[in-house]
Structure 1
């Protein structure tokens, strides 16, 4: 469906047919300033949502775990029965909510990366509200996951809803989704540059002058808003020194270790999911079992509970022995994997920050014993924190800017950037995925970033194929074939049987060669086992052409009935792909 301005309206997103007046939509679509103002409003709303979620979780942790601090992970002591029971009860509540939703209606949950990659920025709002509720239940009961997934989900969903109400272009809608995520992360960490580049690297998957202003304005507006309505929830540390060239050997070793730990944690998540799947437990019961496991680990140390936000503050200030650090890293990584794998909802962003910081302190102790340490352990912890988060998220610039905004030290930021790049390269070479894209891979999706590839899936064989095809029966003689299809009339003919089922393709020049002495045409049939389906996209079609070593293939309805519906050539596919690519690029420039 299209409006007079020519932009496609997303179908089925629950907009109830309401949009702002046409004159306002024209302002937003025609003038970049209005888009920036809309982005600022989105940043403010995202910050308010983050503030509300933070305050709610603080109240829940106080009530359920009887603590005095901001978050349960930093508590010095928790009643053992609370540590053991609360995660189980939370798991049961989460399972009940999921079961109730599954029985009442099918609600699609689309995260911002998937929305921008496949849906042009369209995010169903009911599914986002459900995810936020599930994330708050998970974090509130102590599951070892962070709230950042909930923050970005609600911020991006609000942005997507406003973009659809204003009926913006596809490229602008994707940018606004990035604005919502940028505002949420900026508000959560009190770091506008971190939020902005989180959006560029993970949600929009590109940086351009056109997207700079709205994303940065959204991040700044969000930080200003959260500072007005909420006490500071970010962590700030100071470092005024510098790093020598010899210190970078420690940075390289730490970055590689962080990458390996990140890979191990992501694989452990998949392993835990596989164990729960094979166990035969119903979906609603799995979080309770996972909660029991996390509760058991919490009896050793409360630091494994929740996101680890307060535990990170404590860990930076406290002195831990090497043995305790190894125990803490192992328990936290296992608790996070169990929480995600058993069905709790949330992210690993802050868990990765905590794990990286503790690994950095552990490596600093070992390095000091072996070679001596010239820089503070805190600095090594910050480098590890950002390197580990890069391994999990795949956003090196975001983590470098987080270091800059939390320490104010340019030399340390350079070291963090080096560690982040090394960690990112190691993960890409050894594993190939960040946590977000790894989750897509487990679901069978092929996307590896939020780059807009949804239009590629829309460019299907059915849209590109020719329907004016020439066919011949398989029992025709060669002489009859030559009479019906003289040279120059057509290049190829599709062969079908008596029931019009696809059998293959005959090239007309091949049939007219003097060496073709057979009386039947069956000996000339090619590609009998290869055909295209109408719902294949252009990339799948190009792969089929390459695998078959053919420049044209028949299109059939399915591989059961094999009724021929068209023909597609490789040259035409390439031309349509190029035209669509140019059109998308022009849309981005015009936006």
Structure 2
């Protein structure tokens, strides 16, 4: 079984099919649990969406998010003592860890997501779906002992199956994996990812046929004049997406700087969400019911604008205060609201003939791509929602505009922006973990030639004749690094006998330029370039500076090029 996926694409596709079944089951089970929690907590009738109904008991709407915040805070308190390392999501796992994802961590994220969503926090379940499905895929890949590139593909299969099952949209799920989880589209990854998305969607529809994605109704006909307002709507959504992401970051930063303990923040956030829900219950949970309610009915401008502001505030407060979840569906809802608001102004911007539902589709895709990323993902979502190719072309134009605005003015999607706030430098799921694994301690030579910095030039010449070695690292009596000298320079620079008594330290170079064993190849190359040196000493740390090795620029560049080429061949399927 381990040999089959390593040696043939059929084996990897078979593994993707198994992951797709698991993803479909995960989505169905988590959806059932969340809906059951909504029914019990908010006393709903069976089949009723939380954000699409009116909860008569205002006290219940206030108390439920507070209770969820208390439960989540208790869970955070336990995790702070039991599991101190940060929880890794599929994007980070594929970018930095070669697809290695803890299944235990994934289950913890899913429980947190269910508690948050089940008690009404303004977050969706998509983060939990993709986390558990990808965690199962990674576990499966570990059991099969897959190569790094195949492991990353299998994690993408898990995420693809989860999104496909959640939205009844296999193409959306597949391109979600390509653009956001794997970071690239290749022929090798096409078959397993698409197979996983298709099978996961079939499994989810078999188990819960009523959860069939988003229905927007008729979108009307498209004429060339409609592209101008659609492009303007894309630009607006790009700007608003940036504001939303910065709003979440502002809430998180404010909470971090406050004296409020981490386990109490969800309670305060839940109280604020509960107060907002007393104004409009449509801000609760992911927003499925609210989306269909606002798409199917004519809503006044003020009501749409109020709900947009309330939902954006509730989502930022929920995530910023510690509730676990994502902005995928929230961004779709807010984008649809922006689109319907824009439809009131569209007639004044040109000869536009679009229906309000069409602007809602354009808006939801444009805001979602601004926040989540993945232009083709959101374009295919519009295609699978509407089944209309002219509409899809219009959405593509708007989505590209929104994506361009965000990349130019901001540079991040929501997931990579949160990594940036944590100190990471990744901007996508493209595999950069191999660069971090190619560290100086793996590249250096440990058999470095050393000499005391205080010996005379004459003694140095006797100890290191020409041809014995190229470079010698000088050390202080306590073993501290003192610089590097070139043996030919020592022999050729001083010819007078009176200068032969000078300590060799006077010829030392790069006294303050050293490499650390934890630096990666890219950082080492940058330091070589900055110092204009062909070789640098490697020291244990910056305090004691004990010499442990020597690294040359030529060897670093050769090994870096070899790994880069190997990674390219893995992605293209040559390995």
Q: Same fold (TM over 0.5)?
A: yes
1:158 is aligned to 136
Q: Is the 8 A contact 2:138 2:155 kept in 1?
A: yes
Q: Is the 8 A contact 1:235 1:406 kept in 2?
A: yes
Q: CA deviation at 1:455?
A: 1.6
1:451 is aligned to 430
Q: Is the 8 A contact 2:219 2:358 kept in 1?
A: no
1:66 is aligned to 43
Q: Matches of residues 334-373 of structure 1 in structure 2 within 5 Å?
A: 334-371=313-350, 373=352
Q: What is the aligned counterpart of 2:290 among 305, 311, 322?
A: 311
SS in 1 for 2:333: helix
Residues 86-115 of structure 1, C-alpha deviations (whole Å, 9 max, x = no match): 101100001112222333445762211111
Q: CA deviation at 1:372?
A: 5.7
**Counterpart-to-counterpart distance in 1, 2:149 and 2:18:** 19
Runs of 4+ in 1 over 6 A off after TM superposition: 515-518
**Counterpart-to-counterpart distance in 2, 1:363 and 1:51:** 35
Provide the aligned C-alpha RMSD in A.
1.9
Q: CA deviation at 1:509?
A: 4.4
2:552 matched to 1:569?
Answer: yes
1:377 is aligned to 356
Q: What is the aligned counterpart of 1:87 among 65, 71, 82?
A: 65
2:181 matched to 1:203?
Answer: yes
Q: What is the aligned counterpart of 2:398 among 416, 419, 425?
A: 419
1:466 is aligned to 445
Q: Matches of residues 546-565 of structure 1 in structure 2 within 5 Å?
A: 546-565=529-548
SS in 2 for 1:282: coil
Q: CA deviation at 1:77?
A: 4.2
* Range moving further from structure 2, 454-463 or 25-34: 25-34
Q: CA deviation at 1:590?
A: 4.5
Q: Is the 8 A contact 2:441 2:518 kept in 1?
A: yes
Q: Is the 8 A contact 2:219 2:354 kept in 1?
A: no
SS in 2 for 1:568: strand
Residues 388-422 of structure 1, C-alpha deviations (whole Å, 9 max, x = no match): 11011110000000000000111111111111111
2:59 matched to 1:76?
Answer: no
Q: Which runs of 5+ in 1 are unaligned?
A: 1-23
Q: CA deviation at 1:475?
A: 1.8
Residues 113-171 of structure 1, C-alpha deviations (whole Å, 9 max, x = no match): 11111221111111111110000000011111110000001111111111222222222
Q: Which runs of 5+ in 2 are unaligned?
A: none
2:157 is aligned to 179
**Counterpart-to-counterpart distance in 2, 1:242 and 1:351:** 27
Q: CA deviation at 1:514?
A: 4.7
2:509 matched to 1:530?
Answer: no
Q: What is the aligned counterpart of 2:145 among 143, 164, 167?
A: 167
2:236 matched to 1:251?
Answer: no
2:373 is aligned to 394
Q: Is the 8 A contact 2:72 2:115 kept in 1?
A: yes
53 and 523 in structure 1: CA distance in 2 versus 1, 3 angstrom threshold: same
**Counterpart-to-counterpart distance in 2, 1:431 and 1:523:** 50
After TM superposition, the score normalised by the length of structure 2 is: 0.94
**Counterpart-to-counterpart distance in 2, 1:503 and 1:125:** 48
Q: CA deviation at 1:508?
A: 3.6
Q: What is the aligned counterpart of 1:55 among 29, 32, 50?
A: 32
Q: Matches of residues 430-509 of structure 1 in structure 2 within 5 Å?
A: 430-509=409-488
488 and 317 in structure 1: CA distance in 2 versus 1, 3 angstrom threshold: same
2:524 is aligned to 541
SS in 1 for 2:473: strand
**Counterpart-to-counterpart distance in 2, 1:240 and 1:377:** 8
Q: Is the 8 A contact 2:52 2:282 kept in 1?
A: yes
SS in 2 for 1:529: coil
SS in 2 for 1:330: helix
**Counterpart-to-counterpart distance in 1, 2:454 and 2:352:** 84
2:115 matched to 1:137?
Answer: yes
2:551 matched to 1:581?
Answer: no
70 and 537 in structure 1: CA distance in 2 versus 1, 3 angstrom threshold: farther
2:246 is aligned to 267
* Range moving further from structure 2, 532-541 or 141-150: 532-541
After TM superposition, the score normalised by the length of structure 1 is: 0.92
Q: What is the aligned counterpart of 2:168 among 149, 171, 190?
A: 190
Q: CA deviation at 1:457?
A: 1.3
Q: Is the 8 A contact 1:236 1:406 kept in 2?
A: yes
1:224 is aligned to 202
SS in 2 for 1:378: helix
Q: Matches of residues 274-285 of structure 1 in structure 2 within 5 Å?
A: 274-285=253-264
516 and 319 in structure 1: CA distance in 2 versus 1, 3 angstrom threshold: farther
Count of matched residue pairs: 568
**Counterpart-to-counterpart distance in 1, 2:356 and 2:271:** 35
Residues 536-569 of structure 1, C-alpha deviations (whole Å, 9 max, x = no match): 1111211222222222111000011110011111
Residues 286-330 of structure 1, C-alpha deviations (whole Å, 9 max, x = no match): 100111111111121112111111111111122223333222222
546 and 232 in structure 1: CA distance in 2 versus 1, 3 angstrom threshold: farther
Q: Is the 8 A contact 1:457 1:537 kept in 2?
A: yes
1:294 is aligned to 273
SS in 2 for 1:284: coil
Q: Is the 8 A contact 2:217 2:357 kept in 1?
A: no
